[in-house]
Chains A and B, each alone.
Chain A
Amino acid sequence: MEIFQNILNALQFGSFYALIALGYTLVYGVLRLINFAHGDIFMVGAYIAYFLAVTLIGATGGFNVGLHVSPAVALAITVPVTMILTALVGVTLERTAYRPLRRKGANRLYVVITALMAGLVLENGNLALLGATRKRFPDLIDKVVWNIGGVAVTNLKVVVIVAAIIVFAMLQFIVTRTKIGMAMRGISYDKFAIPLMGIPLDTIIVVTFVLGSGMAGLAGILFAMSYPILEPYMGALIGWKAFIAAVVGGIGDIRGAIVGGFLLGFIEIGVVAVFPSTLRDLFAFSVLLIILWLRPTGLFGVAETTKI
């Protein structure tokens, strides 16, 4: 039975990685930009959710505005508002840091450095503003544990996994079936031809950031509900890992992000089941490195062909 329990846990962890990896992959797929700040946007999402939730239910730690709504209502408000606000953070980042560089036609490298630095600003800005004390996310839903044949299934785990699958299906639909998705795929091939075809480049890029950051916001809420301790650096490691997952799947491909995310989840839980938990990162990263050695463009990635 333990194996089923592990599979469930792996699916849950994989869902977090997949949700964050989707954001990396979306932005990369469109802009060929590694948005290194994405893990920190996830962290910001978790913090936004925290402040919204505690303010709404009137717990200490938030803004005291005298609200005392029930946890269920608070959750219903927190989820969409957090996603919107996190998306806004992502778009702001795009507007203030990436867009000017893109307009100048700067080398991609400079944009990557900017992304890396923006991530640091978010992390350390949070630390400086809110201090090093960890925040405890309030319980918004009652934990229900179903015992199915000896496997403890919590309602939260189910929600997380289902959310990841729904988001994946939705993004896959947007990217492959809608006009805006077609434009997104088009930009990745030729950034210069797209405006000539009458497609508003900036709008498409903003939509990409909205989608990616919104998903990071959702991941932030779900993570905070599952592991209710928040700290400024929570986004860094999980973000890097999700990013590597996205690359292993084949960055720029939505299926790749999901597969990479779940793969990482399974590797980590699998390692912990057999070895001491301190070896988790070592094994996880080694396996990913080996996959990249064997398939340099990831599982779904297509090698770029050079013409001479």
Chain B
Amino acid sequence: MSLLEINGLTRRFGGLIAVNDFNIELGEHEVVALIGPNGAGKTTVFNLISGFYQPSEGSIRFKGKDTRGLRPHQVTALGVARTFQGIRLWSEMDVLDNIRIAQHYRLGYSLLDCFLRTKNYMTREKEIDRIAWELLEAMDLKEFAHELPRNLPYGVQRRVEIARAMSVQPALLLLDEPAAGLNSADVEELIKLVRWIHERFNVTIWMIEHQMTVVMSLCSRIKVVDFGTTIADGTPEEIQSNPTVIKAYLGDDTI
């Protein structure tokens, strides 16, 4: 059974069709890219999956469960985590707290537990702490645990954001332009990191990315959209030589 199944997904904003009849099926342990020119509706697809928008038509099934009508936090609780195009960390709380809070859906204690500091509360908080530290350790962020995100270099902030998404313990990780604004050294590191996360956590990764180095070295499948419509789907080699894709990116051969 596939992990994520999207059928005929359409989203209209007034008269504008941002996403038109989008279909995809993601299996477990895949790494897939979604590419396309700016404004093609890529982020909208992610927003639809994470429940930030509701689809106008079509269905989204995650682990066989229809996610339409769920609120974003409920979708996340099912095991979909994501990062954002512009970094959206909680900038006034330290890195450790950022990672802890993303475990909100499996706190496992009630408000009353919290007031009374019951045994349940203590063990749960310890568990949350342990997972957070493990993740920081694994992602080489331990030294920044008590820093505020806004004081960290951009590349590290990206890493923190990915770590935060991973603390959800997702089955599907959506990365929205993870390499945007990174220099070439950082990009190399990002590629290594994503590959490592993929191996280590056995997670399906779906990314929106413009930098072809990242896409080509990580992804086994690429989907290309333009004006909300899918124009190509295939392996990196197929995409590279696809005339429609070249046209969408470079325009007609009028030069």
Query: When chains A and B are docked, how far (Å) is the Cα of A273 from the Cα of B93?
Result: 55
Q: Find residues 33-65 in chain B having any chain A CB closer than 8 Å to their own CB.
A: 43, 47, 52
Q: Quick one: which of B87-112 are within 8 Å of A by CB?
A: 88
B47 to chain A: which residues have CB within 8 Å? Answer: 308
Closest to B82 in A: A308
Q: Is B22 an interface residue (CB 8 A)?
A: no
Specify which chain B residues have a CB less than 8 angstroms from the CB of A308 in the assembled complex.
43, 47, 52, 84-85, 88
Q: How far is the CA of A308 from the CA of B47 in the complex (A)?
A: 8
User: What 1/0 mask marks residues of chain A from 276 to 308 whose CB sits below 8 Å from any chain B CB?
Assistant: 000000000000000000000000000000001
Tally of A-B residue pairs with Cβ under 8 A?
6
Contacts of B85 in A (CB 8 A): 308
A308–B208 alpha-carbon span in the complex (Å): 13
Complex CA distance for A308 and B43, rounded to whole angstroms: 8
**Residue in B closest to A308 when the chains form the complex, CB atoms:** B84
| Closest beta carbon of chain B to A107's beta carbon, Å | 12
Contacts of B88 in A (CB 8 A): 308
- Bound Cα distance A308, B52 (Å): 9
A306, chain B: closest CB distance, angstroms: 9
A13 to chain B, nearest CB (A): 38
Instruction: List, in ascending order, chain A residues with CB within 8 A of B84's CB.
Output: 308
Q: Which of chain A's residues has its CB closest to B86's CB?
A: A308
CB distance from B2 to the nearest CB of A (A): 26
Residues of A contacting B43 in the complex (Cβ-Cβ under 8 angstroms): 308
Nearest CB of B to A307, in Å: 9
A308 to chain B, nearest CB (A): 6
Q: Nearest chain-A residue to B46 (Cβ)?
A: A308
CB neighbors of A among B178-209 (8 A)? none
Q: Give the docked Cα–Cα distance between A268 and B47 (Å).
A: 45
Binary interface profile of B, 69-86, with partner A (CB < 8 Å = 1, else 0)? Answer: 000000000000000110
Q: Which chain A residue shows the least CB distance to B47?
A: A308
Contact mask for chain B residues 127-158; partner A; CB cutoff 8 A; 1 contact, 0 none:
00000000000000000000000000000000
Question: For the complex, what is the distance from the CA of A308 to the CA of B84, rounded to whole Å?
Answer: 7
A169 CB → nearest B CB, Å: 31
Residues from chain A with Cβ under 8 Å of B52 in the complex: 308
Shortest Cβ distance from residue A78 to the other chain B in the assembled complex, whole angstroms: 51
Tell me the bound Cα distance from A308 to B85 in angstroms.
Answer: 7
Min C-beta distance of B12 to chain A, whole Å: 15
Q: Whole-angstrom distance between the alpha carbons of A308 and B88 in the complex?
A: 9
**Chain B min CB distance to A304 (Å):** 15
Tell me the minimal C-beta distance from B86 to chain A in angstroms: 8
Shortest beta-carbon contacts, A-B, top 4: A308-B84, A308-B47, A308-B52, A308-B85
6 residue pairs bridging A and B, Cβ less than 8 Å apart:
A308-B43, A308-B47, A308-B52, A308-B84, A308-B85, A308-B88
